[in-house]
């Protein structure tokens, strides 16, 4: 896929992986709509993009609510046009012993990490089907492949993202729309650092590493059959 003039939506775009991906997409010539619940972080990301001449706008809202996801899609259509790229990156992490996880925690993690991905993917797919082109990339986690007892809600939600990606891929394929999942390992983001301490022996990925994987998938989509990527810690 040639990225120049593509229209991209990036969720969780105010910091970490989402922020880096939004900046990299804009540097490639994409018009980027960045979504998050934090307006100040979005403003900063949009300012960085506009500073180097990129095109970007922001949408503030809780994407677990269907009306907000619809609002994001409407804002994208009105500002830039039909999206051709969707990066479902928004996520939350909770580290709690299995026996202490509350239903409130379980539901909140599932809502952000899985429900919002389904809602926005469905909306984007309907738009992409009209034009028979597009690429949806969902950010899962290696925590989905080996779920620890303290990451039950997070790991299960990210495993759900993997299953959802497979189903979405089958629905999208007849229309020429590509769907992939990226499974980052431990990545040096504010979210991860809130729950895990990095020591001298730690080998963590950087947000740039994950963005590089996303860019690889997008750039090679017309000649590469790779479905999902698991970045390797450096």
Per-residue pLDDT tens for 101-142?
Answer: 999 999 999 999 999 999 999 999 999 999 999 999 999 998
pLDDT in tens, 44-98: 999 999 999 999 999 999 999 999 999 999 999 999 999 999 999 988 888 899 9
Residue ranges covered by each domain of the chain: 7-229
The catalytic residue positions are 154
d(CA 80, CA 57): 9
Q: Looking at residue 201, what is its pLDDT?
A: 46
pLDDT of residue 166: 96
User: Does the pLDDT of residue 24 top 60, yes or no?
Assistant: yes
55: CB partners within 8 A, 6+ apart: 26, 30, 31, 32, 49, 80
DSSP 151: G
Give the CATH number of domain 7-229; options: 3.90.79.10, 3.40.50.720, 3.90.1170.40, 3.40.50.2300: 3.40.50.720
Which tokens hold the place of 103? 């239903």
Q: What is the pLDDT of residues 139-182, one digit of tens each?
A: 999 888 988 888 899 999 999 999 999 999 999 999 999 999 99
pLDDT at residue 190 in the model = 59
Q: How confident is the model at residue 35 (pLDDT cuts 50, 70, 90)?
A: very high
Report the C-alpha gap between 147 and 156 in whole angstroms: 7
With 0-12 / 13-18 / 19 or more C-beta atoms within 10 angstroms meaning exposed / middle / buried, residue 187 is buried
Report which of 145, 124, 97, 115 is spatially closest to residue 7, judged by C-alpha positions: 124
CA distance 157 to 231: 19
Q: What is the DSSP letter of 233?
A: P
* Token pair for 131: 């034009």
Query: Which pLDDT tens digit goes with each residue over 175-234?
Result: 999 999 999 876 665 555 455 565 554 577 888 899 999 999 999 876 666 677 677 554
Sorted by sequence, the CB contacts under 8 Å of residue 52 that are 6+ apart come out as 26, 27
């Amino acid at each position: 896929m040639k990225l120049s003039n593509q229209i991209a939506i990036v969720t969780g775009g105010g910091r970490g992986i989402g922020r880096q991906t939004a900046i990299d997409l804009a540097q490639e010539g994409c018009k980027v709509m960045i979504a998050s619940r934090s307006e100040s972080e979005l403003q900063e990301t949009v300012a960085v993009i506009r500073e180097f001449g990129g095109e970007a706008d922001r949408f503030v809202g809780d994407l677990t609510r269907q009306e907000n996801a619809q609002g994001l899609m409407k804002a994208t259509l009105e500002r830039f046009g039909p999206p051709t790229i969707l990066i479902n990156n928004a996520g939350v992490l909770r580290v709690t012993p299995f026996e202490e996880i509350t239903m409130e925690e379980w539901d909140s993690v599932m809502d952000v990490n899985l429900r919002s991905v389904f809602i926005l993917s469905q909306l984007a797919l309907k738009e992409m089907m009209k034009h028979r082109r597009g690429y949806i990339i969902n950010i899962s986690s290696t925590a989905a492949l080996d779920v620890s007892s303290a990451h039950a809600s997070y790991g299960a939600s990210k495993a759900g993202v993997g299953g959802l990606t497979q189903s979405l891929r089958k629905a999208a394929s007849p229309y020429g729309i590509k769907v992939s999942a990226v499974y980052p390992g431990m990545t040096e983001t504010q979210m991860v650092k809130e729950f895990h301490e990095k020591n001298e022996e730690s080998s963590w990925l950087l947000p740039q590493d994950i963005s590089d994987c996303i860019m690889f998938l997008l750039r090679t989509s017309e000649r590469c059959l790779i479905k999902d990527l698991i970045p390797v810690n450096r």
